[in-house]
């Protein structure tokens, strides 16, 4: 008898739908059906059991081919790479659970590594804005239950977060919003007339790269000041109209996406959006939220904040204090500047996402990829370690885009012998401790520094 697993979380996008029903074959090995998920979510589950999976770590040979090795050998290799490097970088965590992130941090701290996640090339600019200006936000259920005005700025959920609009923002009937879409005004601001813009009551086509100016204009108008006749391609009347709707809302949410944090001035676009949200709270209730991409990309920001006080770009190389400064300690900057001498790519594909120059620099040094599947990164690595798929084969806690923790379930077993990220990092940690103990045992007494020419 096939078995139905209910209340399953979807390990794809930041909407973190937790209402999936997955039907699993008799032997518990095949996924037969996935209900409630969107097309992308559906595919994630089928993909897991569809193709060939890598079941053992693979080490690059002198002739360029991969050879299967045991997990023990892989753990030893990874630990030695980390131990011997002067400034290793551990980057990724787009598709890992929080338990794995916590274990990875333990390894990074022990190894003296830089620890970073995909936010670094994505919503990291949101963090910079939050550092500078705060984050007046809410959980998604608040928007569903209360919001009568919803504003998507530089975000296209219709493509990137398919069920966002139906679960939380535009369509659902909430406690104070019993009429669903009819009880809400939808505003979309985007340089492109996206599919999301199709469902908007008001659409403003902001000139590409000039969001900051438009926010500035909204703020000036909300405070009752004059503005020029046109700002960022939008007519004054329209700005006044939208500002008025925002001020008169009972409860509003601004959802912003990569359009804001990937155009010029990145963090400042988000920063001034936060300022506008603050301003509006002098009149009524407004909240703001980043449309985080991957289902648990909010996770590392949470875990590493409670462990170190920083959400990303953690330089732990000093081993006794953590340092963070995106622009310096961010993965791409480090790689571009050729500042790291070992790289662990986990649960993402730096091979595909990093600038080619950065990849070239990283390739000069040992490169290890930890990923359930074959990807660009795994194919240019020195070592590829397969792990179980979180949300399908491995349970755990993930953080939704609104920072709400969702407990994900396991639906099927991982391929035989394949371990979880968490277990892998725990084993690397153990091996590092051993190496450290051996290293301490044979450390020599430091010689006097060379190059001294004292003027005695």
Query: Which residues are near ligand SF4 by CB under 6 A?
Result: 10, 12-13, 15-17, 37-38, 40-41, 161-163, 295
Look up residue 301 and give its two tokens. 């920001």
Helix axes 266-280, 211-222, angle to 10 degrees: 20
Question: Which one of ligand SF4, other proteins, none interacts with residue 12, CB within 5 to 8 A by kind?
Answer: ligand SF4
Nearest approach, Cβ of residue 93 and ligand SF4 (Å): 17
Displacement of CA 172 from its chain's centroid (Å): 26
Nearest approach, Cβ of residue 397 and ligand SF4 (Å): 16
Nearest approach, Cβ of residue 164 and ligand SF4 (Å): 7
Q: Which is nearer to ligand SF4, 10 or 111 (CB)?
A: 10
The CA distance from 184 to 356, in Å, is 45
Count of C-beta atoms within a 10 Å radius of residue 436 = 14
Q: Which is nearer to ligand SF4, 38 or 199 (CB)?
A: 38
Q: 3-class DSSP state for residue 148?
A: coil
Question: Which one of ligand SF4, other proteins, none interacts with residue 38, CB within 5 to 8 A by kind?
Answer: ligand SF4
DSSP line for 381-433: -SEEE--PPBTTTB-EEEE-TTS-EEEE---SPPSTT---HHHHHHHHHHHHH
The CA distance from 356 to 377, in Å, is 12
Question: Which one of ligand SF4, other proteins, none interacts with residue 443, CB within 5 to 8 A by kind?
Answer: none
Residue 428 contacts residue 75 (beta carbons within 8 Å)? yes
Q: Which is nearer to ligand SF4, 10 or 383 (CB)?
A: 10
Nearest approach, Cβ of residue 144 and other proteins (Å): 6
Q: Which is nearer to ligand SF4, 22 or 370 (CB)?
A: 22
The secondary structure of residue 309, as a DSSP letter, is S
Nearest approach, Cβ of residue 140 and other proteins (Å): 5
Q: Which is nearer to ligand SF4, 21 or 227 (CB)?
A: 21
Question: Which one of ligand SF4, other proteins, none interacts with residue 341, CB within 5 to 8 A by kind?
Answer: other proteins
Q: Which helix (H) or strand (E) holds 370?
A: strand 367-370
Nearest approach, Cβ of residue 196 and ligand SF4 (Å): 14
Question: Which one of ligand SF4, other proteins, none interacts with residue 300, CB within 5 to 8 A by kind?
Answer: none
């Amino acid at each position: 008898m096939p078995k139905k697993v209910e209340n399953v979380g979807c390990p794809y996008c930041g909407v973190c739908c937790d209402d999936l029903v997955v039907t699993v074959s008799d032997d518990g090995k095949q996924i037969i059906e996935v209900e409630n998920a969107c097309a992308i979510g559906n595919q994630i589950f089928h993909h897991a059991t569809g193709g060939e999976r890598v079941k053992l770590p693979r080490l690059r040979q002198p002739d360029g081919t991969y050879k299967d090795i045991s997990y023990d050998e892989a753990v030893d290799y990874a630990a030695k790479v980390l131990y011997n490097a002067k400034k290793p970088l551990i980057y990724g965590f787009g598709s890992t659970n929080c338990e794995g992130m916590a274990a990875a941090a333990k390894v990074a701290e022990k190894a003296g590594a830089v620890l970073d996640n995909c936010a670094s090339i994505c919503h990291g600019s949101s963090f910079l804005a939050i550092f500078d200006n705060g984050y007046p936000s809410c959980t998604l259920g608040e928007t569903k239950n209360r919001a009568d005005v919803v504003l998507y700025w530089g975000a296209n959920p219709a493509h990137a977060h398919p069920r966002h609009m139906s679960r939380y923002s535009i369509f659902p009937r909430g406690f104070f919003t019993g009429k669903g879409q009819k009880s809400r005004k939808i505003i979309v601001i985007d340089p492109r007339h996206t599919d999301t813009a199709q469902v908007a009551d008001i659409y403003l086509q902001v000139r590409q790269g000039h969001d900051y100016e438009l926010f500035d204009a909204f703020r000036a108008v909300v405070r009752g000041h004059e503005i020029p006749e046109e700002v960022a391609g939008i007519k004054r009347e329209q700005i006044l109209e939208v500002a008025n709707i925002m001020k008169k809302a009972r409860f509003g949410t601004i959802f912003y996406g990569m359009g804001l944090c990937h155009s010029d001035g990145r963090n400042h676009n988000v920063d001034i959006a936060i300022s506008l949200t603050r301003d509006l709270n002098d009149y009524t209730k407004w909240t703001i939220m980043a449309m985080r991409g991957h289902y648990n990309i909010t996770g590392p920001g949470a875990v590493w904040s409670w462990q170190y006080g920083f959400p990303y770009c953690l330089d732990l190389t000093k081993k006794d204090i953590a340092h963070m400064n995106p622009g310096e300690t961010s993965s791409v900057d480090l790689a571009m500047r050729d500042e790291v001498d070992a790289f662990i790519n986990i649960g993402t594909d730096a091979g595909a996402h990093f600038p080619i120059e950065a990849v070239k620099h990283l390739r000069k040094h040992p490169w290890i990829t930890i990923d359930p599947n074959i990807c660009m990164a795994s194919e240019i690595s020195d070592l590829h370690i397969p792990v179980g798929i979180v949300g399908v084969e491995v349970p755990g806690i993930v953080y939704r885009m609104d920072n709400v923790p969702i407990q994900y379930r396991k639906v099927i077993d991982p391929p035989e012998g394949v371990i979880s990220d968490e277990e892998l990092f725990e084993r690397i940690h153990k091996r590092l401790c051993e190496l450290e103990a051996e290293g301490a045992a044979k450390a020599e007494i430091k010689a006097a520094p060379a190059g001294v020419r004292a003027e005695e």
